[in-house]
């Protein structure tokens, strides 16, 4: 080989090495994180699914791994440090009010998206008295939200005014409803869309009476103190995913199908049409406070909180400055819930 050829080869190899260096740096910079996922997926958590499938986590240098657990198990894992980011805000609030050192980081849904669906001659919530309802596991959001909604606003108590069959995941409840194992069930809005497409009907939405944010992420304080940069990257990822969701139907549909296990294009398209503007990474103070106030009222009813003991300021449990900084860094546009 001539000297000229050797020089050419050397330059080519050098150029290739330079081209691959940024890719190698990105690969080396990936920070591994674990994210809680309810069994079967949840419509309130769609932004995190989009951040995964659309590659937004990777863009931020995060290697995300979802771990499927019941809501109660996620809370336990989050407090013990075995789960980095937990999307169970209600369970987190009770833990915080009981003294657990946790910190909320970023929002997902701008409202409580739980929906009661039924079949047959049941036309209103009051008709559920004496019936059997499908919830999630005790201690999970898809149990607590239903029990709170029916108890506080319709004076219907679990075990006294209606029976409950607890299911591990949402996908199991629709077949149970069709098979008449239960008379009604509460599912997230995404799964409710699937139920409606199969002939079920909606008779109530928790958001009508409980205007609070849903799917809000929190972590153990020891984790956020030790990993502020990772928390910042995660919050930026969710904020980017929320904005992506608003306009990118094709990419969002792909994420919904993958994480919710749905294969009906019409149903998934309907889910996006109905929900793409229902998400927000920001956490409005009043709606964030309602997570804790609602949990405080439940604890009072269960004799776990003194009636005359006021609610502490929930802002102490939220990394507000970190969140606002992350939103600013990605030029986040605030949510406009209810627009199409």
Among residues 208, 239, 257, the one where a domain terminates is 208
Q: Each residue of 286-305: pLDDT tens digit? A: 999 989 998 898 889 889 99
90 located within any domain: yes
Give the residues across from 109 on adjacent strands.
214, 279
Let me know whether 99 and 221 are in one domain: yes
CATH of the domain at 47: 3.40.190.10
Query: Is 23 a residue whose pLDDT tops 60?
Result: no
Among residues 208, 234, 259, the one where a domain terminates is 208
Let me know whether 106 and 219 are in one domain: yes
Let me know whether 107 and 229 are in one domain: yes
Give φ, ψ of 109 to 5 degrees.
-100, 145
Let me know whether 52 and 119 are in one domain: no
Report d(CA 41, CA 49) in Å as an integer: 9
Tokens at residue 110, please? 């701008």
| pLDDT for the residue 269 | 87
Q: Are 46 and 275 in contact (CB under 8 A)?
A: yes
Determine the structural domain holding residue 146 and report its residue range: 114-208
| pLDDT for the residue 236 | 98
| pLDDT for the residue 19 | 54
Report d(CA 99, CA 86) in Å as an integer: 17
Q: Are 122 and 131 in contact (CB under 8 A)?
A: yes
Report d(CA 213, CA 207) in Å as an integer: 9
Which of 140, 154, 107 shows the shortest CA–CA distance to 287? 107
Residue 237 pLDDT level (bands cut at 50, 70, 90): very high
Number of domains observed in the structure of the chain: 2
Let me know whether 280 and 197 are in one domain: no
Query: Is 195 a residue whose pLDDT tops 90?
Result: no
Which H or E run includes 67?
A: strand 62-68
Burial class (CB in 10 A: 0-12, 13-18, 19+), 255: buried
Report d(CA 175, CA 212) in Å as an integer: 29
DSSP calls for 143-184: HHHHHHHHHHHH---BTTTBEEEE-SSGGGHHHHHHTTS-SE
139 located within any domain: yes
Listed in sequence order, the DSSP H helices in the chain are 3-29, 46-53, 56-59, 71-80, 89-97, 141-154, 173-178, 189-197, 221-226, 228-247, 249-260, 265-275, 285-301, 320-329
Report d(CA 104, CA 114) in Å as an integer: 21
Report d(CA 220, CA 299) in Å as an integer: 22
Q: Are 173 and 182 in contact (CB under 8 A)?
A: yes
91 located within any domain: yes
Let me know whether 187 and 302 are in one domain: no
Let me know whether 89 and 37 are in one domain: yes
End-to-end CA distance of the chain: 66
Residue 25 pLDDT level (bands cut at 50, 70, 90): very low
Among residues 162, 184, 208, the one where a domain terminates is 208
| pLDDT for the residue 10 | 52
Q: Are 258 and 53 in contact (CB under 8 A)?
A: yes
Tokens at residue 315, please? 């802002």
């Amino acid at each position: 080989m001539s000297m000229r050829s050797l020089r050419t080869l050397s330059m080519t190899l050098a150029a290739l090495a330079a081209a691959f260096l940024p890719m190698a740096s990105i690969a080396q910079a990936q920070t591994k994180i674990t994210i809680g996922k309810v069994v079967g997926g949840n419509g309130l958590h769609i932004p995190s699914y989009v951040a995964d499938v659309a590659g937004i986590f990777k863009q931020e240098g995060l290697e995300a791994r979802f771990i499927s657990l019941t809501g109660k198990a996620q809370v336990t894992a989050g407090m013990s440090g075995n789960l980095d980011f937990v999307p169970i805000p209600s369970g987190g609030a009770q833990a915080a009010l009981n003294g657990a050192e946790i910190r909320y980081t970023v929002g997902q849904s701008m409202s409580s998206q739980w929906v009661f669906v039924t079949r047959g001659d049941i036309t209103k919530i009051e008709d559920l008295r004496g019936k059997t309802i499908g919830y999630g596991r005790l201690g999970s959001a898809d149990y607590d939200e239903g029990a709170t909604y029916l108890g506080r606003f319709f004076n219907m108590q679990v075990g006294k005014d209606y029976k409950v069959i607890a299911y591990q995941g949402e996908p199991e409840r629709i077949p149970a409803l069709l098979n008449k194992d239960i008379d009604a069930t509460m599912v997230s809005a995404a799964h409710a869309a699937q139920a409606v497409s199969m002939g079920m009907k909606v008779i109530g939405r928790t958001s009508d009476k409980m205007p609070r944010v849903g799917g809000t992420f929190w972590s153990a304080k020891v984790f956020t103190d030790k990993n502020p940069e990772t928390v910042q990257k995660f919050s930026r990822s969710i904020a980017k995913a929320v904005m992506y969701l608003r306009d990118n139907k094709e990419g969002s549909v792909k994420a919904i199908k993958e994480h919710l296990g749905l294969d009906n294009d019409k149903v998934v398209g309907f889910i996006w049409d109905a929900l793409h503007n229902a998400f927000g990474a920001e956490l409005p103070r009043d709606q964030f406070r309602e997570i804790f106030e609602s949990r405080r009222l439940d604890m009072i009813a269960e004799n776990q909180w003194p009636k005359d003991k006021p609610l502490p300021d929930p802002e102490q449990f939220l990394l507000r400055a970190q969140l606002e900084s992350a939103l600013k860094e990605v030029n986040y546009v605030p949510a406009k819930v209810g627009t199409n």
